[in-house]
Amino acid sequence: MAIPVIDFSKLSSEERAKTLAQIANGCEEWGFFQLVNHGIPEELLERVKRVCNEFYKLEREENFNKSASVELLNEGDDEKLENVDWEDVITLLDDNEWPSNTPDFKETMADYLAEVKKLAEKVMEVMDEKLGLPKGYIKSAFNSGDNNNNNKAHFGTKVSHYPPCPQPEQVNGLRAHTDAGGVILLFQDDTIGGLQILKGGEWVDVQPLPNAIVINTGDQIEVLSNGKYKSVWHRVLAMPDGNRRSIASFYNPSLAATIAPAPQLVEQARGYPKFVFGDYMSVYAEQKFRPKEPRFEAVKAM
Ligand SMILES: O=C(O)CCC(=O)C(=O)O
Ligand SMILES: [Fe+2]
């Protein structure tokens, strides 16, 4: 079993309908798919890989080697570590300070984020179309909020490294979860695997494919689509060899946005709640590694 690989450039060819159908199938049956020929220049992707590798070496490796995960593993207890991840991570947001000691890191990542955000919006338009929603529906649902200018989608990027692990069976790279937000675009390592999704009760690898972008949908797309596109459990295994790089960009609603099933899709009520996304994130912060259904119940009660 392999995650679907879809040629995004075919959207503007005579194979448009077939490509739309492949994406809809990826959303309905898998919750994850990979895009090739997605339009982000290869030259930029090569630069992203280079600056992220350098960034880890220059600004992160030393810290990781002193982290709680490394210390706990070194303590040598044979119990599996259930409360930590074997992951080094920083998050790039519009309004936080970005690392500045690695040459070209900031500029390159700014260029990449601009491209990947455009790709996210194109993918959301495909979802609009295949869900039977007006063009721009998901984008405007995510870019909405109160009257205090809190109405911009929350777009961020997580730069992660999963260093080689001497006892990979003792710890997860990243514990299993579904993503809280909207649409996630992942630029994963060319060769080192470890990302898996849960499908039909089995863990399936998200096979590394150089310069592809992996797309997956979070809990908010599940709610908005009234369950047609489900957020899917995934995890990252710790690996004995190689330092896996992954760059995950998330296009999420603004914290003030109200999220609910689209009225066009509720011919059958499925019990999804209506809530403010910021409230959902407060619940998620406490319950990320648990099933989503109690999160839906918790925001319903708020
Ligand atoms: O690093 C990866 O491949 C996946 C990361 C992930 O699932 C997440 O950050 O939510
Ligand atoms: Fe995730």
Residue 272 lies in a domain: no
- Supply the pTM of this predicted model: 0.97
Residue 193 lies in a domain: yes
- Ligand 1 centre distance from Cα of residue 198 (Å): 14
Per-residue confidence (pLDDT) for residue 1, from 0 to 100: 84
User: What pLDDT, in 10s, does the model give residues 84-93?
Assistant: 999 999 999 9
Residue 286 lies in a domain: no
Residue 44 lies in a domain: yes
Pocket test for ligand 1, best of 174, 196, 205 (most atoms within 8 A of CB): 174
Q: By C-alpha distance, which of 34, 31, 38, 93 is closest to 221?
A: 31
Q: Whose CA is nearest to atom 1 of ligand 1?
A: 246
Residue 271 lies in a domain: no
Residue 161 lies in a domain: yes
Residue 297 lies in a domain: no
Domain count, the chain: 1
Per-residue confidence (pLDDT) for residue 269, from 0 to 100: 87
What backbone phi and psi angles, to 5 degrees, belong to 85? Answer: -120, 150
Residue 239 domain boundaries: 5-253
Give percent of the chain above pLDDT 70: 100
Residue 60 lies in a domain: yes
Say how far apart CA 264 and CA 39 lie, in whole Å: 31
User: What pLDDT, in 10s, does the model give residues 99-117?
Assistant: 999 999 999 999 999 999 9
**Does ligand 1 come within 6 angstroms of the Cβ of 116?**
no
CATH for 78: 2.60.120.330
Band (pLDDT 50/70/90 cuts) for residue 264 is very high
Question: What are the DSSP calls for 190-219, one per residue?
Answer: SS---EEEEETTEEEE----TT-EEEEE-H
Per-residue confidence (pLDDT) for residue 226, from 0 to 100: 98
Q: Whose CA is nearest to atom 2 of ligand 1?
A: 246
- Ligand 1 centre distance from Cα of residue 248 (Å): 6
User: What pLDDT, in 10s, does the model give residues 1-38?
Assistant: 899 999 999 999 999 999 999 999 999 999 999 999 99
**Does ligand 1 come within 6 angstroms of the Cβ of 248?**
yes
**Does ligand 1 come within 6 angstroms of the Cβ of 6?**
no
Instruction: Tell me whether residue 175 is exposed, middle or buried, using C-beta atoms within 10 angstroms of its C-beta: 0 to 12, 13 to 18, 19 or more.
Output: middle
